[in-house]
């Protein structure tokens, strides 16, 4: 990894799922000055990494972005108002307001002479026409254009990608952009409406096991397809990209595509149960099929996510099960 561990590195959105894992990994790797910033109160942070400087601040405000990036050499921007499909389909304006975080962090990074800036984009930037079938071809980076991304959240991500490009061209800021594909794992959102499919399914199965109610509600017909990327692979790919000289948007995502029904199959197998499936055809379900084409990342880095979905779900289910067990005891 071509990064100076003595220099200050800012993790924006450090109180969130991915941000907390990345900040923890930086500490483990020996980075001496890790600064974590998040809008949430500290008691709502998913993790507060021991050894990091934790700051509560709203990075949609330029003055806070300037303070957060002061003396930083590297910026990892994960800060966003987002969640699973149920959240982003019903909160388009809130999702788009995250563009203020990206704008102000980019401005502040130039003002404070930041060397490298990482932006976490999303597979939601990809044009809808490529995602209409359950067996849709895997999405390669060029499929983002001509542009027709996910309404709201996807447009914000794609616009911010373009800002990174132009800040690099106009101001010399080195920008790195990763298009994440459905990141999941322990220490993530599993309840409350912002959880993504793996955590939601783990919760529903765990609740069925713990309560004896052998029914499970599934959004859509269960045939829609996705790939899901385990958090450890996301962290590794992110830091690899940040430390590299590669400057174009690139997929960080598993290429193991499954249907939602198959996802439920895996979690049922882990839990040792078989549930009665009730399909909610009116629920938010997003595109019909989405998968990551990893040709580019394999070519450039000889790397791609390696954690199988079954292995990642095993850890995630056990963690979610423990969280539900604690709430029942309380």
Q: CA-to-CA distance for 315 and 43, rounded, in angstroms?
A: 24
DSSP codes of every residue in 26-58: HHHTT-SEEEEEESS-GGG-S---TTSEEEE--
Strand partners, 84: none
Those residues whose C-beta lies under 8 Å from the C-beta of residue 99, and which sit 6 or more positions away, are 156, 159, 160
The structure tokens listed for 209 are 């096991």
3-class state of residue 99 by DSSP: helix
Q: CA-to-CA distance for 120 and 162, rounded, in angstroms?
A: 13
Q: CA-to-CA distance for 325 and 330, rounded, in angstroms?
A: 9
Burial class of residue 211 (count of CB atoms within 10 Å of its CB; 0-12, 13-18, 19+): exposed
Residues annotated as catalytic are: 153
Q: What angle do CA 9, 41, 106 make, to 5 degrees?
A: 35
């Amino acid at each position: 990894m071509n990064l100076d561990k003595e220099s200050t590195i800012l993790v924006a959105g450090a109180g969130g799922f991915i941000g907390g894992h990345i900040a923890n990994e930086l500490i483990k790797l020996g980075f001496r000055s890790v600064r974590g910033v998040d809008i949430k109160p500290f008691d709502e942070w998913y993790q507060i990494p021991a050894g990091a400087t934790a700051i509560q601040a709203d990075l949609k405000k330029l003055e806070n972005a300037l303070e957060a990036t002061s003396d930083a050499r590297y910026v990892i921007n994960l800060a966003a108002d987002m969640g699973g499909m149920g959240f982003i389909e019903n909160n388009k304006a809130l999702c788009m307001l995250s563009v203020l975080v990206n704008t102000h962090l980019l401005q502040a990074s130039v003002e404070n002479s930041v060397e490298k800036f990482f932006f976490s984009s999303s597979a939601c930037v990809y044009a809808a026409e490529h995602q209409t079938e359950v067996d849709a071809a895997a999405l390669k980076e060029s499929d983002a254009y001509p542009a027709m991304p996910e309404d709201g959240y996807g447009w914000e991500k794609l616009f911010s990608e373009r800002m990174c490009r132009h800040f690099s061209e106009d101001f010399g800021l080195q920008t790195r952009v990763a298009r994440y594909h459905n990141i999941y794992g322990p220490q993530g959102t599993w309840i409350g409406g912002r959880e993504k499919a793996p955590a939601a399914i783990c919760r529903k199965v765990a609740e069925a096991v713990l309560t004896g109610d052998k029914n499970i509600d599934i959004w859509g017909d269960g045939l829609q397809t996705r790939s899901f990327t385990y958090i450890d692979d996301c962290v590794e790919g992110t830091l690899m990209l940040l430390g590299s000289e590669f400057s174009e948007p690139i997929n960080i995502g598993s290429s193991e595509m499954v249907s939602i029904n198959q996802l439920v199959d895996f979690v049922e197998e882990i839990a040792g149960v078989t549930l009665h499936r009730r399909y909610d055809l009116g629920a938010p379900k997003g595109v019909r099929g989405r998968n990551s084409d990893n040709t580019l990342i394999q070519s450039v880095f000889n790397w791609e996510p390696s954690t199988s979905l079954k292995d990642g779900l095993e850890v995630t289910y056990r963690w979610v099960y423990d969280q539900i067990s604690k709430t029942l005891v309380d």
